[in-house]
Amino acid sequence: MSIYQEIILEHYKNPHNFGTIKNPSKRSSIFNPLCGDKIELEAIFKKGKVEKIKFRAQGCAISQASASILTDHVLGRIKEDLKKLDKDFMIKLLGIELGPNRIKCALLPLEALHKLIT
Ligand code: FES
């Protein structure tokens, strides 16, 4: 197993930023109709920055691990910068090659993030 696969497995088993926020500034959710999986995000924004972010997920290991890794990455960052994050960024962040089906799983949290910051 590569170091990246181990990191993904670790985030899946012990997700960071999992849960809910009382009185969030915004919520978003996204659903993958192909598999029925869902990611929900909640955040508190202060001065255009992500002060707090939490997620809940019903989904596969890749989607949950990528939500955990992505929420770690976005904490403390400016909303405007987060709008630029794309598929290539997610691939780099996760560090593993994913086939066309699995890449959808990895992008689900990013789609939820884009909904959150619009
Ligand atoms: Fe549904 Fe991965 S199989 S998001």
H/E segment holding residue 4: helix 3-13
Ligand 1: which atom is nearest the Cα of residue 62? Answer: 2
Name the residue with the closest Cα to ligand 1, atom 4. Answer: 105
What CATH number does domain 3-117 carry, 3.40.50.720, 3.40.47.10, 3.90.1010.10, 1.20.120.160? 3.90.1010.10
Residues 69-118 have pLDDT tens digits of 999 999 999 999 999 999 999 999 999 888 888 899 999 999 999 999 99
Residues 18-67 have pLDDT tens digits of 999 999 999 999 999 889 999 999 999 999 999 999 999 998 999 999 99
List the domain boundaries for the chain.
3-117
> Measured from the CB, is residue 112 less than 6 Å from ligand 1?
no
Rounded to two decimals, the pTM is: 0.95
Q: What are phi and psi of 83, to 5 degrees?
A: -65, -25
According to DSSP, the residues that pair with 30 across neighbouring strands are: 39
Alpha-carbon torsion (57, 90, 104, 99), positive or negative: negative
How far, in Å, is the centroid of ligand 1 from the Cα of 51?
A: 28
> Measured from the CB, is residue 30 less than 6 Å from ligand 1?
no
